[in-house]
Amino acid sequence: MTWEILNIIGTVAFALSGVVVALEEEYDLMGVYVLGFATAFGGGAIRNLLIGIPVSALWEQGTLFTIAIIVMTVAFLVPRIWLQLWKKWGVFFDAIGLAAFAIQGALFATSMGHPMSAVIAAAVLTGTGGGMIRDVLAGRKPLVLRKEIYIVWAALGGFVIGMGWITSNFAIGALFISIIVLRMLSVHYNWKVPVKTGSSSNF
Amino acid sequence: MTWEILNIIGTVAFALSGVVVALEEEYDLMGVYVLGFATAFGGGAIRNLLIGIPVSALWEQGTLFTIAIIVMTVAFLVPRIWLQLWKKWGVFFDAIGLAAFAIQGALFATSMGHPMSAVIAAAVLTGTGGGMIRDVLAGRKPLVLRKEIYIVWAALGGFVIGMGWITSNFAIGALFISIIVLRMLSVHYNWKVPVKTGSSSNF
Amino acid sequence: MTWEILNIIGTVAFALSGVVVALEEEYDLMGVYVLGFATAFGGGAIRNLLIGIPVSALWEQGTLFTIAIIVMTVAFLVPRIWLQLWKKWGVFFDAIGLAAFAIQGALFATSMGHPMSAVIAAAVLTGTGGGMIRDVLAGRKPLVLRKEIYIVWAALGGFVIGMGWITSNFAIGALFISIIVLRMLSVHYNWKVPVKTGSSSNF
């Protein structure tokens, strides 16, 4: 139950991030829907594809679709004041989506008996694949490839689950909260994964 | 029979639209083939993937492949005068492709017993997915996300078929012609789906 | 055995080409991994998808993953002097990857009884699909669509295998070396596939 609520929050957060990008690019209402759906469900579609679940399993999420389309329509129709709130709170909801999707992807992959590499990839792609599709469709360079630490936390979740350290709902909850906290700290303190610039090593 | 002819027209129109973009981007002959194929068959590939048909079913369309490659080669070799004609008539052939592909995608999805959301998505992706892949491969922002009403007509076709209102070949024909006419009217009168610009609501 | 070594060289070359693009775009370490993996394994993933092998078969390549991740990490950490060497030798390793992947893709497709069109597409996509994904994720126009003859050699390999002309390991070796030599000659003499520019035909 709690899990479903978190999943809904994550889906709504990702759909809204697609809406925000579509509005910035001045896409029309259909562009808003396409980008919102791609962000919210694209990561799961890629994950299903890579770990061998039929991609068409997506269509069993009827309720999530309905919620997403209502949220996107409302976000498009209401005055854009919510964009101010989004700037403040968006990163938090997005962190919930990242944590929920990464854990869900990793649990899927382990339940299918995949090796560690697949579990980490499933966590990363479920958590961040939707955002990459969104950015590619908007003609942007994928943000997750260079913003404050993001993919790492999804990979970490995949690693912890792939090691078999998560054996209770309580442990899942702790991992979930850890990923959110780590992500929020990354944003707050502007933690970055090393980037190499210039022509010589900066290590 | 009629259906096959429409399917051929749609495939050729989509392949040519890929050729046009490749020529504009100064891609070479192989770029022309890649972009043409991606536009003509990419939407069907994504649809197959999402509704659970093996993507490899594509390879049963041998005749369509042959036609597409001949058309693309000729379009590349002949003087570019046809580009003038394309500017005039391209949007009409493209509308045929949109209508044929959207209906075909929706019929596929209903025949597999998918819910309405999947039927609409299949119609939209079959009708417009190829064009999105084309634009992404050409480093452009997908045109369908903001040009005159386009995706809407594919979605409408999906909705009508998903509701089970189409029970005869005659009804399919009527829907097919309706989508083409609506799309042509959208271009002619420059109908747009609402876009929100500026910092306040313009509703 | 020889085959496996060539496959490793190809994978490493493609992963490194992803690393080079990620460094140029100033992506962080995770961006380096994502781009490297996408380049090295993306072509194979698309090919599996299109010819009907489960995409999840990717995860059986555990050793290749480990090698790729070690190479990418080292390439990221060491001083960037290797980029100079890459400029000189990268095109050669890349040619090995192109040849190994194109042949492998074509052999896969023939072993599944696909028609010639699918065999050529499998050769082209396995050989060049990873590079296209890399460029799209980096917000660039896919290089293979316009650089010195590249896709053609993959298509040629697919054609030769699709015709059933390759019946021994010796023949595979000869085809492999031919593709590398043809690709290197293309770069050295700057061979181009015809491009049409200007408003009139230049044939």
pLDDT in tens, A111-143: 888 888 889 988 998 898 888 898 888 888 887
What integer pLDDT is reported at residue B181 of this predicted model? 92
Chain A residue with minimal CA distance to B125? A34
Mean pLDDT throughout C74-92?
81
Region of A148 please: left (phi>0), alpha (psi -120 to 50) or beta. beta
Chains that touch C (3 or more CB pairs under 8 A): A, B
Report residue A199's pLDDT band, with 50, 70 and 90 as the boundaries: very low
Mean pLDDT throughout B193-202?
55
The answer to whether C22 contacts A145, with C-beta atoms less than 8 Å apart, is yes
Dump pLDDT digits (tens) for C132-165: 898 888 888 887 776 677 888 999 999 999 998 8
Percent of chain C with pLDDT over 70: 94
Interacting residues of B25 by C-beta distance below 8 A, sequence separation 6+: B31, B138, B139, C141, C145, C146
ipTM above 0.90, yes or no: no
Dump pLDDT digits (tens) for A34-92: 899 999 998 888 888 888 888 888 888 878 888 998 999 998 888 777 777 777 778 88
Residue A166 has pLDDT above 80, yes or no: yes
The answer to whether C114 contacts B78, with C-beta atoms less than 8 Å apart, is no
Contact B38, C151 (CB under 8 A): no
Separation between Cα atoms, residue B145 and residue B157, nearest integer Å: 18
Residue B114 has pLDDT above 80, yes or no: yes
Residue B48 has pLDDT above 50, yes or no: yes
Query: What are φ and ψ of residue C174, in 5° steps?
Result: -65, -40
Report residue B53's pLDDT band, with 50, 70 and 90 as the boundaries: confident
Lowest average pLDDT, out of B139-148, B178-187, C63-72, goes to: B139-148
Residues of A in contact with B140 (CB under 8 A): 139
The answer to whether C50 contacts B54, with C-beta atoms less than 8 Å apart, is no
What integer pLDDT is reported at residue C179 of this predicted model? 93
Contact A52, C55 (CB under 8 A): yes
Residues of C in contact with B65 (CB under 8 A): 117
Residue B86 has pLDDT above 90, yes or no: no
Chain A residue with minimal CA distance to B150? A30
| Average pLDDT value over all residues in chain B | 84
Task: Quickly count: other Cβ atoms within 10 Å of residue B51's Cβ.
Answer: 25
Residue to test with chain C: of A116, A196, A202, most C Cβ within 10 A: A196
Which of B14-28, B82-96, C81-95 reaches the highest mean pLDDT?
A: B14-28
Residue C76 has pLDDT above 90, yes or no: no
Residue B18 has pLDDT above 50, yes or no: yes
Interacting residues of C13 by C-beta distance below 8 A, sequence separation 6+: C90, C93, C94, C96, C97
Lowest average pLDDT, out of A66-70, A149-153, B60-64, B144-148, goes to: B144-148
Dump pLDDT digits (tens) for B3-14: 788 788 889 989
Residues of B in contact with C51 (CB under 8 A): 56, 59
Chains that touch B (3 or more CB pairs under 8 A): A, C
Residue A177 has pLDDT above 80, yes or no: yes
Which one is predicted more confidently, A66 or A148?
Answer: A66
Mean pLDDT throughout A177-199?
79
Residue B192 has pLDDT above 80, yes or no: no
CB-closest option in B26, B78, B137 to C195: B26
Residues of C in contact with A141 (CB under 8 A): 25, 138-139
What integer pLDDT is reported at residue A102 of this predicted model? 92
Residue to test with chain A: of C34, C37, C47, most A Cβ within 10 A: C34
Count of CB contacts below 8 A, A vs C? 78
What integer pLDDT is reported at residue B203 of this predicted model? 35
Q: Which residues of C touch B (CB under 8 A)?
A: 49-52, 114-115, 117-118, 121, 124, 132, 136, 139-142, 144-146, 150-152, 155, 192-197, 199-201, 203
What integer pLDDT is reported at residue A44 of this predicted model? 86
> Closest Cα to residue A143, out of C94, C199, C137, C109?
C137
DSSP run (H or E) holding B47: helix B29-51
The answer to whether C27 contacts A196, with C-beta atoms less than 8 Å apart, is no
Separation between Cα atoms, residue B143 and residue B89, nearest integer Å: 18
Mean pLDDT throughout C43-54?
85
Chain-centroid distance of CA B86 in Å reads 16
Which one is predicted more confidently, B166 or C156?
Answer: C156
Report residue C201's pLDDT band, with 50, 70 and 90 as the boundaries: very low
CB-closest option in C115, C132, C146 to B27: C146
| Average pLDDT value over all residues in chain A | 84
Chain-centroid distance of CA A139 in Å reads 19
CB-closest option in A25, A30, A59 to B141: A25
What integer pLDDT is reported at residue C197 of this predicted model? 57
Report residue B196's pLDDT band, with 50, 70 and 90 as the boundaries: low
CB-closest option in B49, B152, B200 to A30: B152
User: What does the block give as tokens for C202?
Assistant: 């230049």
Which one is predicted more confidently, C137 or C84?
Answer: C137
**Three-state secondary structure string covering chain A:** CHHHHHHHHHHHHHHHHHHHHHHHCCCCHHHHHHHHHHHHHHHHHHHHHHHCCCHHHHHHCHHHHHHHHHHHHHHHHCCCCHHHHHHHHHHHHHHHHHHHHHHHHHHHHHHCCCCHHHHHHHHHHHHHHHHHHHHHHCCCCCHHHCCCCCHHHHHHHHHHHHCCCCCCHHHHHHHHHHHHHHHHHHHHCCCCCCCCCCCCCCC
Distance from the B27 Cα atom to the nearest Cα atom in chain C, whole angstroms: 5
Contact C55, C42 (CB under 8 A): no
Distance from the C61 Cα atom to the nearest Cα atom in chain B, whole angstroms: 22
> Closest Cα to residue C77, out of C154, C19, C25?
C19
> Closest Cα to residue C102, out of C5, C6, C25, C186?
C6
Report residue B202's pLDDT band, with 50, 70 and 90 as the boundaries: very low
Residue C69 has pLDDT above 60, yes or no: yes
Helix (H, G, I), strand (E, B) or coil at C115: coil
What integer pLDDT is reported at residue B175 of this predicted model? 93
CB-closest option in A124, A139, A201 to C80: A201
User: What does the block give as tokens for B24?
Assistant: 């504009």
Separation between Cα atoms, residue B181 and residue A173, nearest integer Å: 54
Q: How far, CA to CA in Å, does A64 sit from each of A3, A69, A186, B90, C101? A: 13, 9, 29, 38, 40
Mean pLDDT throughout A173-187?
90
Chain-centroid distance of CA A107 in Å reads 15
